[in-house]
Structures are given as C-alpha cells and as structure tokens.
A and B are shown apart, each in its own frame.
Chain A
Amino acid sequence: MTTNSVNYIEPTTEELSEGVRLRRRKRAINFAIDVFLIVVSILMLLPLVFLVANAFKTPAEMLSWPPTIIPRDPTIANFSAVLGETPLLRWIGNSIAFAVMSTIAIVATSAIAGYIFGKFRFRTLNILFALFLATAIVPFEVYMIPLYFQAKSLGILNSVWGLLLGYLVMSFGIFLIRQNVIHSIPDELLEAARIDGAGEFWIFLHIVLPLLRGALGALAVLAFFQAWTAFAWPMIVATTRTSYTIEVGLALFQTGFTVDLGRLSAASATVLIPSILLFVILRRNFVQGVASTGLKE
C-alpha cells in the first residue's frame, strides 16, 4: 500500500474546538492547583518569615501597623541582647545533646525491639508487643511525675541524663520498625545467612540494619524533633538556668505580664537554624522511609 492511497479523515471543526476546550480546561485546573498550593505554602511560611523579620526590628516597628516584612531600620540589637544576656548557645547545646542522644537511644531500641517483634515468633512476644503499643495511648504527662521522682532518686535532675530518661524509648518507633521488618525483610534472607554461618548479632548488624536504613532515617528525624520540641518534661527536670533546653529557655521571654517580642523573635530565629539544617540533610531518608516499605525484590 502506498501512502497516497491512505485516506486520512480530517477532524471536524467541532472536534477541534472540543480538543482546544479540553486542553484549556486542563491548563486552568493545573493553574488553580498551583495557585492553591502557593497560597497554602505562603500561609505556612508567613509566620516564619515574620519571626525572622521581627528579630531584626526595633520594638516600635514591631508593634506598628501594617506590619512590615522587610524591616525599615534593621537592627541586630535583639540578637546581641539575647546572646549577651541569656545563655542561648548553652541552651541550644543542651537541646542538641538531648535530641541527639535521644535519637540514638530511640533508633537503637526501636531497631532491636522492632526486629525481634517482627521476626521472632513466641507467644510471649505478642503479649509484650501489645503492652508496648498500649503505652502509646498513655499520655506522657500521666507518668511524668513518677518519672521525675525516679530521675530525682537517680540524682540526674538538671542534666542531659535526666532529660534523656523520659525519651529513651518510643513505642511508635518500635511499631514502625516492626512493620518495616515484616514487610521488607523476608525470612529466607535471615535463614540464608544462618546457613552461611552468620550469628544472630552479625545478621542484625550486617543484614537487618542496612535494609532498614530508610525507616531508621525517618524514625531518626521524628525522634530528633520530638526531643527538640519537648517542653513539659525538660520544664520539670531542668530547673537551673544553665540546664534549660531551648524550648524552656524561650518560654522565659514570656512572663506572666510581658512578652519581650524582639528578643523572643531573635532567639527563635537562632533556634530555627539547627532544625532546618537537620531536615535538609535527612530529607531524602525522611520521605523515603515514610513513603515506602521498600526493598521488595
């Protein structure tokens, strides 16, 4: 057959206009979605932008109406006051130490417990797992006071160890890792390793942990921010000025009668830096670990 003999059927004008209409409609919907998402992101970012802007404003400008995004008369007086008069860096240091150690503890305990709950089948383990999960529905505030007395009798009040006592284990973390172990690590992988001569600890270290990297990364971010934003527990455990975490320290700017907005903003802006840095570094792990159970061969 030659190309000449092919009978092309031209689309009618109606069909053409219908196509154009549909394409336009699709473009309009996409545009509307973009606009909606941009508005939502602006609404979410605006408080942070104002926070940073306020940190550079004078007290007068801060209270002026309409509020300004870019300070008319930028000043670093707030920062120098905060850094000079309060041990802000110390508080940040305390928070980082507390959050890092809590993250390590939670990742370690969740990995071990999650793996054991996921792969070792004893009836007693099921009961234990149910108990672990049950603790997730008990608010921390309920057992905060007994825990406080425990910390007191251990003599670790006003220290990072005291802070850590309430943040060593995370039942959600154990649950998350257990689900990941069940879904992404087949029994055969462990059995093959056992036949090949690997011991249980070796298997955990060299096979299970690398395969859980994504989930553990996600858990690490969750655990870090849980400790970073903890307030009630540090508030009662840390009572000396030097042992405060940043959350407790920030609360000090807000007394019963006044709020020192300038310094509070400057301190808060400083505090944002480590959080943003960590999220940027672990972003990929975070998204991966939450989005997929991964590693299905």
Chain B
Amino acid sequence: MASVEIQNVRKAYGDVETIKGVSVDVPDGAFVVLVGPSGCGKSTLLRMIAGLEDISGGTIRIDGRVINEVEPKNRDIAMVFQNYALYPHMTIAENMGFSLRLAKKSKEEIAERVNDAARILGLTDYLKRYPKQLSGGQRQRVAMGRAIVRNPKVFLFDEPLSNLDAKLRVQMRAELKDIHARIKTTTVYVTHDQIEAMTMADRIVVMRDGIVEQVGAPLELYDKPVNTFVASFIGSPSMNFLSGKVAEDCKSVLTENGVRLPLGPEASVLAGTAVTYGIRPEHLAIASGNEGIPITVTNIEPTGSETFVQGTVDGQKFSAQLRERLFIKTGEVLNLALAPTNSHIFDAATGMRLG
C-alpha cells in the first residue's frame, strides 16, 4: 500500500496542453475517483500515473518516491483497462499469473496466488477456460484478478465498468467496493459516470478541461459544490439552475418575471447581485395552495416509486423528482415547495459558489 501524490502535473501535446497543472493527494489505502466529462484529461492523468504517458511538467510520487522517469513495470502498480485487455490466447489462469511468470516466480507460488485471487473473485471454476468463453462480467473479474495477484502498491482503473450492461455494472460496483474494503489497496479509479463516483469513492476529484474543479468526499461535493459545473455534474438528475437577482431584503432571489426563490441562511450576498440559483430536483415537493415555485409542466414520467416532472419556471428549464403521484396534465402549472437550506447560490458571471 502507498500514497500517491500528484503535484502540479502538466501534459502537453505540442502546443496543446491537456492537463494544466493538476494537484491531487491520494492517501494510503484510499479509493479516489477521477470523474469528469469526456476529454477532461482524467484518463490521461491515470495513464501518467501508470507510466504509459510522459509527464510534461510537475511530479508524481508513489509512496514518497518520484516516479516521473520510472518505467511502468517498476512503479509497482496494476492497471485494469476498459476493454479488460486479457490475452486471448492464454487461459484465465495464465492471464492472471502472467505478471508473476514475468517476475520469474516459482510455479507453486504462481498457482497459489492465482488460486487465492480466483477464490476472492469467484473464478475458481473458470481457470482453465479462455477469455472468449467468459461473459463480460467474468472477464472484468479476471482483469481485476490479474491486478490482485501482483499485490501492487496502487490499483489503477480506467473506466472498468463501461463495457458492462446496466445491471451488471451495479453488481460489479458493489463487488469492487467489497474487494477494496478487504484488501485495502490504494486505488485511483477513472470514470465519466458520476453515480459510480458517488457510490464507490472515498474522495472524488472532479475534472474539466485539464484542471481540477473540486476534490472532496462524495456528499461534500453533493452538498457544497464549488461552482455550477460541479453542481450540475454531481447528482442525478442534474441540479436546476435559475438566473435572477438578489432581492432588496437579501433573503430571496427574484427571477426576471418576479418568481421569488428563498435563500438559505448561509448565503451572504448583496442586494441586486446577478446570481444563478441552484436547487436539486429531489429537494422539491408539492406545495400547498398557491405558494412556492410555479412550474409549467411539459413532461411527466411516473416510475412507480417516484414521479419525474419536467417543465419551465419563468421560461427557464426546470425539473423535479417527487415522491407523490401526480394527476395533472402537461401544460398545467404545478406549485413546488423547497427548503431554503437546500438552495445553492452561484455568481452569475463566474459560476463560483456564493452560499
């Protein structure tokens, strides 16, 4: 086990800089998830930790040692790829024991360690098969087994669940988390799926355009996003944003046509400031009477357990996830109540959090 320290790391391809000075600390034994939209540089950063990409600037340390110029094989890491990267011409046992064979371990030791990993992953019955004879989930487990047998200092995962179907993804998510809880190896995990990030991570690093937007525990990011990007990226369905100005009393925000949105006690904003008001769809409820935010409904999606409503508030897109069942039609106006403490206020110009 080891910590990973990434300090002011940069990556440039010619004149184009894709990683623009990223600093992240991964404590010993932590499960850190790098998340962000496609092209944000998360995979590149992971590949730089693995040694598959050169580092243009800054330093990366594993267990205190600078590994910028160290060959991948000498970094004591194991990586799991999105497409599993299993050797098609080798059996599962050979695939899993591959790195040990290269390290010239004895046959007995290889067999023992492969069997141990196979037991952890429930692959014991498949050791003599070939990758093409296994299902997607099993292949993914083999890829993890290959990483586990090495007993490395750090695990690197590059979108390992993206190729699985939705049900299997949920199952593998739990299995991965369970394995990490048991073997406690420092893990850096890349995904574009914020739900994966929220459910698995100790800490999440949200990236965009080669920079880190926010680092924190999953619920910290959910409760206190530092800007509108993090606020919209974390949480599903996405946060609603309404633009408006802080009212004279500094206790609410008024949209252009006068819809009043209550401010939380933490918000310290000056009257007249142009702001973006954020509220998560799941923090809304049906208001009694004519109070609350009037939403003109354009679409209703009942899922049984809850109802997802889409519509507009003062001409701006708005959605709500309600526990109640609704008996209204599209085009009608629904009044929604919200607790001021659940609101988020961002600067309209910079998108940064104000309270």
What is the interface of chain A, defined by CB distance below 8 A to chain B?
Answer: 186, 188-189, 191-198, 202, 207, 210-211, 295, 297
B88: contacting residue among A192, A198, A297, CB under 8 A = A297
Choose one: A198, A210, A297; the contact of B86 (CB below 8 Å). Answer: A297
Interface residues of B (CB under 8 A from A): 50-52, 72-73, 75, 77-79, 81-89, 98-99, 102-103, 131-132, 139, 146, 150
- Beta-carbon contact of B85 and A192 below 8 Å: yes
Find out whether the CB atom of B83 lies under 8 angstroms from the CB atom of A297: yes
List 13 additional A-B contacts (Cβ < 8 Å) besides A191-B50, A191-B52, A196-B73: A191-B79, A191-B81, A192-B79, A194-B52, A194-B72, A195-B52, A195-B78, A196-B98, A196-B99, A196-B102, A198-B73, A297-B131, A297-B139
Which A residues touch B75, using CB under 8 A?
A: 195
- Nearest residue (CB) in A for B98 is A196
Q: 21 A-B contacts, Cβ less than 8 Å apart?
A: A189-B85, A191-B50, A191-B72, A191-B79, A192-B79, A192-B146, A193-B87, A194-B52, A195-B52, A195-B72, A195-B77, A195-B79, A196-B73, A196-B150, A197-B99, A197-B102, A198-B73, A211-B88, A211-B89, A297-B131, A297-B139
Question: Residue on B with the closest CB to A209?
Answer: B89
Cα distance, A127 to B103, chains bound together (Å): 38
**Given A195-B77, A210-B89, are A297 and B52 neighbors across the interface (CB < 8 Å)?**
no
- Report the bound CA distance from A207 to B31 in whole Å: 32
Residue of A nearest to B71 (CB): A194
B80, chain A: closest CB distance, angstroms? 9
- Taken together as a complex, chains A and B put the C-alpha atoms of A120 and B35 apart, in Å, by 29
Q: Chain A residues near B88 (CB, 8 Å)?
A: 211, 295, 297
Task: Give the shortest distance, in Å, between B318 (CB) and chain A (any CB).
Answer: 42
Top 4 closest pairs, chain A to chain B, by CB: A196-B99, A188-B85, A197-B73, A192-B85
Residues of A contacting B89 in the complex (Cβ-Cβ under 8 angstroms): 210-211
Given known A191-B52, A192-B81, A195-B50, contact A297–B99 (CB-CB < 8 A): no
Our pick among B72, B83, B131 for the contact of A188 (Cβ within 8 Å) is B83
In the complex, A195→B154 CA distance in Å? 12
* Residues of chain B with a CB closer than 8 A to A202's CB: 102
Q: Which residues in A have their C-beta under 8 angstroms from that of B146?
A: 192, 196
Q: How far is the CA of A229 from the CA of B87 in the complex (A)?
A: 38
In angstroms, how far is the closest chain A Cβ from the Cβ of B15?
A: 16
Give Cα distance in the complex from A295 to B77, angstroms: 27
- Distance (Å) between the CB of A84 and the closest chain B CB? 50
**Chain B minimum-CB-distance residue to A186:** B83
- Decide: A186 and B102 in contact? CB cutoff 8 A: no
Instruction: List chain B residues, Cβ under 8 A from A297.
Output: 83-84, 86, 88, 131-132, 139
With both chains docked as a complex, state the minimum distance between the C-beta of B98 and any C-beta of chain A, in angstroms.
6
What residue of chain B has the Cβ atom nearest to residue A189's Cβ? Answer: B85
Give chain A residues whose Cβ lies under 8 Å from the Cβ of B85.
Answer: 186, 188-189, 191-192
Cα-based distance from A186 to B131 in the complex (angstroms): 15
Contact of A198 among B78, B82, B102, B150 (CB under 8 A): B102
A207→B85 CA distance, assembly (Å):
11
Interface centre among B72, B88, B99 (most CB of A within 10 A): B88
Residues from chain A with Cβ under 8 Å of B79 in the complex:
191-192, 195
Interface centre among A189, A192, A194, A295 (most CB of B within 10 A): A192
Q: How many angstroms from the CA of A69 to the CA of B280 in the assembled complex?
A: 89
Given contacts A191-B52, A192-B79, A210-B89, contact A197 B103 (CB under 8 A): yes
Q: Chain B: which residue is nearest A196 at the CB level?
A: B99
Find A194's partner among B73, B84, B87 (CB 8 Å cutoff).
B73
B131 to chain A, nearest CB (A): 6
